[in-house]
Structure 1
């Protein structure tokens, strides 16, 4: 079994990213981590009694379970799910432009929380599930500003109908409490720490 500081790259597990998110791919690439992408359709519904971080962690673990049977002994799977919460309401990906506008109207002028849940599942059965939270403050936005963003940036693939790395992040986000990268979709500081424990990275 590899230690947390393997003496050879050959002993490192092969990282598998089960995500179609270009932001997560970008962040892992910028970390200098080698990985392959593996995709399959997974139901993203969750039990109604779960709230906030519980939802993000449940979805990340649920996604990982869909891949468990196909993992090789030397592979390490990474799944993640990012949600936006306003009070205790979970704002998922909007179904259409009208819903995206409605979500952004709810967020404008207020602070909300972004949670990213992460699951690391090793081919030998070891597993860790964790999450990170960032509080995001939006300035008040006009309806023309919101409509401009939705029309030109089409944020239908993003929880809460926005991406902090987009135009709206530059003009609307006034303060972040926590990790910016967590809002992008992956708390890379924590991911790196956990990957080290699995022996998947190291300098």
Structure 2
């Protein structure tokens, strides 16, 4: 079966989520620099990264299908928490999130040779109060290493979440409903639409 889209991501979570909603895809490479620009808002940043990933993937694809790119960031007190650099950075993040509400922004972009469209999903996530031992034990699981905000809601980190308002799958890395709608609209639109 021919893929409906190319996926500009190596994330196993995004692959699983696309598969879950029945979207056939082929992964393509998409390396970009993930660095916030001076004065750039969190929303603009995550939207830009999703679009740049899709564009980078398009360069590496056969051009016969649109390319999907996505990015997820965690924000608390207007501060973006990306993937932790090391254990002390991960501990710092967990201490910031402990007992508080934060936002997770996930942007999804689709591009082809003529068009680009994107969608942004914001989800509020509340954490329980975390002890130093819980934070230390969580680091030892290895889970925080490649996760925005230093935690994975779909893994061990899910036990810290007391409430969620919005899209659970967006926190994992890809909002299922919005991604499905975006792909359907994009594939049904006339090729010359801009």
For residue 68 of structure 1, the aligned residue among 58, 65, 80 is: 58
Distance 1:197 1:138 in 2: 35
Give the alignment of 1:46-85 within 5 angstroms. 46-85=36-75
Deviations 1:96-128 (A, max 9, x none): 122111110111010000001111012x32110
Contact 1:111 1:137 in 2 (8 A): yes
Specify the alignment match of 1:158 in structure 2: 147
SS of aligned partner of 1:66: helix
Q: Quote how far apart the aligned CAs of 1:73 are.
A: 4.1
| 1:20 partnered with 2:5 | no
Distance 1:120 1:41 in 2: 16
Q: TM-score, normalised by structure 1?
A: 0.87
| 1:192 partnered with 2:180 | yes
Contact 2:109 2:116 in 1 (8 A): yes
Contact 1:46 1:58 in 2 (8 A): no
SS of aligned partner of 2:34: coil
Q: Quote how far apart the aligned CAs of 1:70 are.
A: 4.1
Give the alignment of 1:35-184 within 5 angstroms. 35-122=25-112, 124-170=113-159, 172-184=160-172
Distance 1:147 1:192 in 2: 38
Q: Quote how far apart the aligned CAs of 1:166 are.
A: 1.4
Which structure is higher in RCO with an 8 Å CA cutoff and minimum separation 6?
1
RMSD value over aligned CA atoms? 1.7
Q: How many residues align?
A: 188
Segments of 4+ moved more than 6 angstroms: none
Q: TM-score, normalised by structure 2?
A: 0.90
SS of aligned partner of 2:38: coil
Which structure 2 segments of 5+ residues have no match?
189-194
Contact 1:134 1:178 in 2 (8 A): yes
